[in-house]
Structure 1
Amino acid sequence: MHKNAWLICFAFGLIFLFSCNNSHDFTPKPRGFFRIVFPEKKYREYKSGCPFTFSYPVYAHIEPDKNRNAQPCWFNIEYPQFKGTLHLSYMPITSKKVFNELIEDAHTFAFKHTIKATAIDEGTIAYPDRKMYGIYYRIDGNAASSAQFYLTDSTKNYLRGALYFNEVPRQDSIKPVLDFVKQDIDVMIKTLRWKN
């Protein structure tokens, strides 16, 4: 009986030993991201009672700003498929002091993201033939806003834009969408014209 118990233990030991071999190493499933389907780039012209026109994508729609402090010609370009919003706010320039305050506000709003940003680059916008000047702020890192800009003719008109996504800001996961939307912002800036 003692001999049979030993054989049974030996058999179970061999089964256990061979079942724990490393011939089938476990590999964790790689982290994946959602597949993003980008629409075809097509644009339409924005025309309204505001003192400017520009081209914006057909896959986005414009909604008035519903903030209680919103002024005329404050609106949002919504990207529902990307959960993104480009906030646009227009202000008339009534004096040199107002102009300087608007420029300072744009700088302040962009640099509020310094805490989460890894870098903030400023690019100059200049189209003298249509009196279009401004600064484009590219904000890298996990900041709430990844792109901001302002456009002005320095005498009458000022337009500020800020791009936000309604998602946790993770630069690596929103980068493809961000690059796609930034192309639309570039088109908007290049096609914007003052009416007056």
Structure 2
Amino acid sequence: MPKIFSLFFLFVLLISCDEDVLPKPKAYLSLEYPKKSYKKLPLKRPYTFNVLKNTTIIDDKNNWLKIKYPTLKASIDITYRPIQNNMKELLTEAEKLVFKHAVKAEQIIPKDFVNTKNRVFGSLYEITGNAASQLQFHVTDSTHHFIKGSLYFYAKPNYDSILPAVAYIKSDILHLIETLEWKKSI
């Protein structure tokens, strides 16, 4: 009887192993974003820059504005302040807002910008982890103008899930900074 059982087991084993077992390939999230096309900021401000055409610009008082990404449920909030012997205060306030996210952040990565031709000096902070804002920046001409910007999503922060959208918007923020020009008067 054990001989028959052994033969049966060997027969089943040989029949069942006709294909190699391979691990399943890793799945990748397939997100498609619209092709990028930019336009000049359509509002009169003491500054101008290029914005993505498929965004919605919301005008606010004090030369502030909101650049909304309706399909991504996100916005870049822009605040403007004239410099009136308060440069140190403006820089301190901007950095406080960045490091306020340190509690939830895994890492805060700064990147400095210097464009002497257009007098644009500033920093971009990439905040990794489940913080409320993943990208923040400030730019100035160091004498008259100061802009602070923050990226916010209208959802509970889950960094792994929003990472592709953060990368998409980060390139728009970099483009904004690179095309920024200060105006003499409004």
* Per-residue Cα deviation, 1:49-96 (whole angstroms, up to 9, x for no partner): 21111000011110024xxxxx4111100000000010000101111x
Consecutive unaligned residues of structure 2, counting only runs of 5 or more, are 1-26
The separation in 2 between residues aligned to 1:57 and 1:132, in whole angstroms, is: 20
Residue 195 of structure 1 pairs with residue 173 of structure 2:
no
1:54-69 → structure 2 map (5 Å cutoff): 54-65=49-60
The separation in 2 between residues aligned to 1:81 and 1:48, in whole angstroms, is: 22
Consecutive unaligned residues of structure 1, counting only runs of 5 or more, are 1-31, 66-70
In the TM superposition, what is the alpha-carbon distance from 1:121 to its structure 2 partner?
1.3
> Which one of 98, 111, 114 corresponds to residue 102 of structure 2?
114
Q: Which residue of 2 aligns with 1:149?
A: 137
In the TM superposition, what is the alpha-carbon distance from 1:168 to its structure 2 partner?
1.3
* Per-residue Cα deviation, 1:25-46 (whole angstroms, up to 9, x for no partner): xxxxxxx897533001100000
* SS of alignment partner, residue 145 of structure 1: coil
The separation in 2 between residues aligned to 1:36 and 1:64, in whole angstroms, is: 30
The separation in 2 between residues aligned to 1:135 and 1:177, in whole angstroms, is: 20
Q: Which residue of 1 aligns with 2:153?
A: 165
The separation in 2 between residues aligned to 1:166 and 1:186, in whole angstroms, is: 22
Q: Which residue of 2 aligns with 1:101?
A: 89
> Which one of 64, 67, 70 corresponds to residue 77 of structure 1?
67
The residue type paired with residue 162 of structure 1 is S
Aligned residues: 161
In the TM superposition, what is the alpha-carbon distance from 1:120 to its structure 2 partner?
0.5
Residue 46 of structure 1 pairs with residue 34 of structure 2:
no
Residue 87 of structure 1 pairs with residue 77 of structure 2:
yes
In the TM superposition, what is the alpha-carbon distance from 1:47 to its structure 2 partner?
3.7
Q: Percent identity?
A: 35
Contact 1:82 1:177 (8 Å CA) reproduced: yes
Q: Which residue of 2 aligns with 1:23?
A: none
In the TM superposition, structure 1's runs of 4+ consecutive aligned residues that sit over 2 Å from their partners are 32-37
The residue type paired with residue 55 of structure 2 is A
In the TM superposition, what is the alpha-carbon distance from 1:169 to its structure 2 partner?
0.9
